[in-house]
Amino acid sequence: MSRPSRPEPRILREPPPAAGMAALARAISVFFYAMCALLLLVLAAMVYNSFFAIKANEEGMLFRFGRLHPVAGQEILKSGTWYFKWPYPVDVLKVIPAQRSVTVTTRRFMPAEDPNRLAEAQRAAAGGAPQPLRPGYDGYLLTGDANIMHLVASMTYRVSDAKRYHLAHFEDPAPPPGTPAREAAAKRRGTEYLLESLLENATLLEVGARPVDEVFRPGGRAGGDPAIPGGRRDSLSEAVKRRVTATIERLDVGVEVLDVSFVEIQAPLAVQSAFSDVFSAAADRQTEIARALAGEKQGLIEAEGKAARILGDARAYKSRVVENVSAFAAYFATVLGEYEKNPETMLVSLYADTLRDVLKVAGSRYVVQTGGPDQELRVMINPEPEKPKPAAGPATP
Amino acid sequence: MPKRNLMQHWIAIAMAAAVVLIFLLALVVFQVSETEMVMVMRLGKPRTEAGPAGAPRVKIYPPGAHFKWPLVEALWRHDNRLQCYELQKGQTEQVQTADEYQAIVTTFVLWRIGDPAVFQRAVSTTAAAENILDNKVRDARNNILGRHRLGDLINTDPKRVKIPEVEAEILGFMKDACLRDFGIAIEMVGFKHLGFPEEVNNKVFDRMRAERQRKSGDFRAEGTRDALKIKARAEQGVKEMLDKAEAEATKIRAEGDSIAARSYEVFARNPRLAVFLRKLEALRQGVDAKTTLILDTQTPPYDLLRPGATLLPAAGPLRNPDAAAQGK
């Protein structure tokens, strides 16, 4: 038996110092070239981003070191061509959505909680207390006759002067992610908030100059039936649009108001049932009038029929009388000829023929022997025969 | 040998130099945007320049790139654009009008920096400016609203609504003082909301309910009234139409009778016979199945039932109408 031989011990040898330096130099060299490549990539990206175009519904402004820098003599850059800008911080491009319509909507005149949802909740609770309107929390509008109502106002506008829009009016910075909506709203100071405020101001004023029925009424002040709920509210929206436009022009905001509209016009929850009853009463009124009109039409049509029948009867009478008399005249002339030949026979003959016909037709005939004393005759002259009783025998004539 | 090494690394050296240059420039160069006002504060004091009359004034830098000394000079910046601020204080404050009504008014202000030097010195920040506006506008608003009646704010007559005038009065009340004392230029003051205290709201609801009930009653009464009017009109129309038809019918019947009368001339040849024939005709038409006839035995032909009927009479059963007429 032979024993296994022991392995040779491994001896780690340190590389010579010159080789280490060479490896370090190689690593630095690799890093350096990587940095150069990265720099080239960054430069390429910068060059790529330096060329830009403006979209069709936008306008741009180029600021060089903060100053508005005209390009080819134009301060406002438009679509359809390529532009060049130096990288930040030399040039900064500001793009304005100049041609696109933007809509701002304000719910300032609505309660903090949706009244429709609250109404459902109250109906479910059956007889819950009406929703109070808390100052500083719930919004509403006062009408000219000191009624309270709610609505949502919207305004659509577009930027007509990008330079004025950007340079003369504050632009809200985007709120940091996660900012609560209420907090973000409280920090708004910019143009959109300004326009929203002007819309609220004009709405407050115009609604405050009209009675509540006119705000609800379709067609506004100019006319329309207050009985018909719903429909257009041109007059109010037109007036608000006019007022906002005048203020915007005075402040030179650089926007053009395209449209103002109001939706969700409603009474406060506490009085909604009373308002609904008015609409219901108005509908009842319309129904009653419609029924009366229908009755009038029907009555007139029936009267036309009756009148036609009266006239028809009269014409028939006329025709009948004329024909009868004509026929009788002809008959008379014929009989007269015969009568003159043999008067007595003719008369008896005519009389007997007539009596025979009459007796044939008559339902009951009684012949009474005259000339006797104390005669009494009882006759049932009711022409309608008695109905026979089921159990009885055959009816006696 | 070292010179050759430096030349070998010229790219790295250039990059390092560029970084250093950018760093230095960032220390001494600053930008002024078109949308802001910038002052250079040297040891906390704004840098000045000679004014038109030679007097020193605070230097406001125009848009573009400018230089400043590092460390000893700092920048003060503020947006120079119009801002919209809704008063945050006193949102539920009750303002008394001249006619003793309590109103709650939400107000907004459009403002910008009017005098940068004064603004920087007296206010400096947006938050401070808004704090000042809160106090100044509230004071002016409460003062001016106290001089006006509620009817100047809401009225069914548009000419009597004076909200723009009230807003202009508030603006005029504080505009000059704000510019002079705080460098704040106020462009507009406006109302965004107008309301009543909560207990007044409840009273308003009671009144609204009563008004709506009255209106409902009015609508229903109007409906009944209008319907009755329509019915009366319809009845009148029907009556007129039938009356007209009756009149026309009478006329037609008269025409018939008139035409018939012309045929009566032929009866003049023997009027008695004509009458006799008419009677016969009337008798024939006047009897139907419901008629009960009671005749005596003197009436032909029932005279045949009498004794001696087999004997022919000397004369006929009937008299000649002509002879009867003549009394024969």
Same domain, yes or no: B102 and B14: no
What is the mean predicted confidence (pLDDT) over B132-144?
Answer: 93
B295 domain residue, yes or no:
no
The model's pTM: 0.71
Query: Does A326 contact B263 at a Cβ distance shorter than 8 Å?
Result: yes
**Are the beta carbons of B95 and B147 closer than 8 angstroms?**
no
Nearest CB to B242; choose among A166, A303, A371 = A303
Nearest to B290 by CA among A365, A181, A292: A365
- Average pLDDT rounded to a whole number, residues B231-251: 94
Residue that terminates a domain, selected from B148, B168, B196: B196
Ranges of beta strands (E only) in A16-133 are 51-53, 59-64, 67-68, 82-84, 91-96, 102-106
**pLDDT higher than 90, residue A103:** yes
B221 is a domain residue: no
Asked if residue B156 and residue B69 are part of one domain, the reply reads: no
Is the domain of B106 the same as that of B171? yes
B151 touches chain A (CB under 8 A): no
Residue B312 pLDDT > 70, yes or no?
no
Average pLDDT over residues A40-65: 90
Least confident of A150-164, A364-378, B85-99, B249-263: A364-378
Q: Residue B313's pLDDT is what?
A: 59
pLDDT at A181 > cutoff 60: yes
State residue A64 phi and psi, 5-degree precision: -105, 120
Question: Which range of residues forms the domain containing residue B10?
Answer: 2-78
Window from A6-20, A196-210, A288-302 with minimum mean pLDDT:
A6-20
How far is residue B24's CA from residue A102's CA, in Å, rounded to a whole number?
Answer: 44
User: How many Cβ atoms sit within 10 Å of the Cβ of residue B8?
Assistant: 10
Which CATH number is B133's domain given? Answer: 3.30.479.30
* One domain, residues B58 and B41: yes
In a domain, B212, yes or no: no
pLDDT-derived band at B31 (thresholds 50, 70, 90) equals: very high
Q: Are residues B35 and B91 in the same domain?
A: no
At A33, the pLDDT band (50, 70, 90 cuts) reads confident
pLDDT at A395: 39
Going by pLDDT thresholds of 50, 70 and 90, the confidence category of residue B16 is: confident
A5 band by pLDDT with thresholds 50, 70 and 90:
low
pLDDT score of B319 more than 60: no
Cβ-contact A241, A257 below 8 angstroms: yes
Q: Which residues pair with A60 in a beta bridge?
A: A77, A95
pLDDT at A195: 94
Instruction: Establish if B185 belongs to a structural domain.
Output: yes
Same domain? For B175 and B122 the reply is yes
Tell whether B127 and B187 lie within a shared domain. yes
The mean pLDDT value for B75-85 works out to 92
Q: Is residue B316 less than 8 Å (CB to CB) from chain A?
A: yes
Judge whether residue A227 has pLDDT over 50. no
Picking from A339-353, B14-28, B291-305, which range would have the lowest pLDDT averaged per residue? B291-305
Flag whether pLDDT at A119 surpasses 70.
Answer: no
**Domain termination site, one of B136, B170, B196:** B196
**Is residue A208's pLDDT more than 90?**
yes
Q: Does B242 fall in a domain? A: no
For residue A3, pLDDT beyond 80: no
- Locate the DSSP E strands across A128-254: 141-142, 148-159
Residue B301: is the preceding peptide bond cis (ω within 30°)?
Answer: yes
A:245-304 residues touching chain B, CB 8 A cutoff? 247, 251, 267-268, 270-271, 274-275, 277-278, 280-282, 284-289, 291-293, 295-296, 299-300, 302-304
Q: Residues B144, B50: one domain?
A: no
Task: Give the residue-averaged pLDDT of B48-55.
Answer: 83
Residues B144 and B108 occupy one common structural domain: yes
Is residue B326 pLDDT above 80, yes or no?
A: no
Query: Does residue B142 lie within any of the structural domains?
Result: yes
* Domain identity same for B186 and B125: yes
Asked if B11 is an interface residue toward chain A (Cβ–Cβ < 8 A), one would say: yes
Residue B263 has pLDDT above 70, yes or no: yes
Residue B122 has a pLDDT of 93
pLDDT computed for residue A123 by the predictor: 57
What is the pLDDT of chain A when averaged over all its residues?
Answer: 82
pLDDT, tens only, B293-302: 888 887 777 7
- Which residues of B fall within a CB distance of 8 Å from A209? 154-158, 161
Under a CB-based contact definition with an 8 Å cutoff, are residues B260 and A322 in contact? Answer: yes
Whether the per-residue pLDDT at A167 is higher than 80: the answer is yes
Res B9: pLDDT: 73
In a domain, B22, yes or no: yes
**Separation CA A193–CA A365 (nearest Å):** 109
Mutate to test the interface with B, among A67, A297, A323, A324 (most CBs of B within 10 A): A67
B294: its two tokens: 């009671």
Minimum mean pLDDT range among A12-21, A157-166, A347-356, B309-318: B309-318
pLDDT in tens, A323-339: 888 888 888 888 888 88
* Contacts with A, B 163-222, CB within 8 Å: 163-164, 187-188, 190-198, 201-202, 204-205, 207-209, 211-213, 215-220, 222
Query: Which of A109-118, B49-58, B106-115 holds the top average pLDDT?
Result: B106-115
CA–CA gap between residue A218 and residue B37 (Å, rounded): 50
Size of chain B, expressed as the number of residues it contains: 328
Does B192 lie in the same domain as B89?
A: yes
CA distance B299 to A369: 10
Contacts of A199 (CB under 8 A, 6+ apart): A104, A106, A153, A155, A240, A244, A260
Q: Tokens representing B3?
A: 């010179």
How many other CB atoms sit within 10 Å of the CB of residue A28?
10
Give A-chain residues touching B305 at CB under 8 angstroms.
Answer: 367, 369
Helices and strands (H and E) in chain B: how many: 8, 12
Contact A351 B248 (CB under 8 A): no
- Chain A, 22-41: which have a CB under 8 Å from a chain B CB? 32, 36, 39
Asked whether the beta carbons of residue B316 and residue A348 sit closer than 8 angstroms, the reply is: yes
At residue A273, the pLDDT reads: 87
Domain termination site, one of B43, B62, B78:
B78
Question: Structural domain tally of chain B?
Answer: 2
Average confidence score pLDDT of chain B: 87
Whole-angstrom Cα distance, residue B324 to residue B317?
13
Q: Is A393 exposed, middle or buried (0-12, 13-18, 19+ CB in 10 A)?
A: exposed
Please check the confidence at residue A42 and state whether its pLDDT lies above 60: yes
Q: Are residues B63 and B89 in the same domain?
A: no
Q: What is the pLDDT of residue A260?
A: 94
Is pLDDT at A226 greater than 60 in this prediction? no
Among candidates A197, A295, A383 on the partner chain, residue whose Cβ is nearest the Cβ of B192 = A197
pLDDT for position A178: 80
pLDDT band at B39 (very low <50, low <70, confident <90, very high): very high
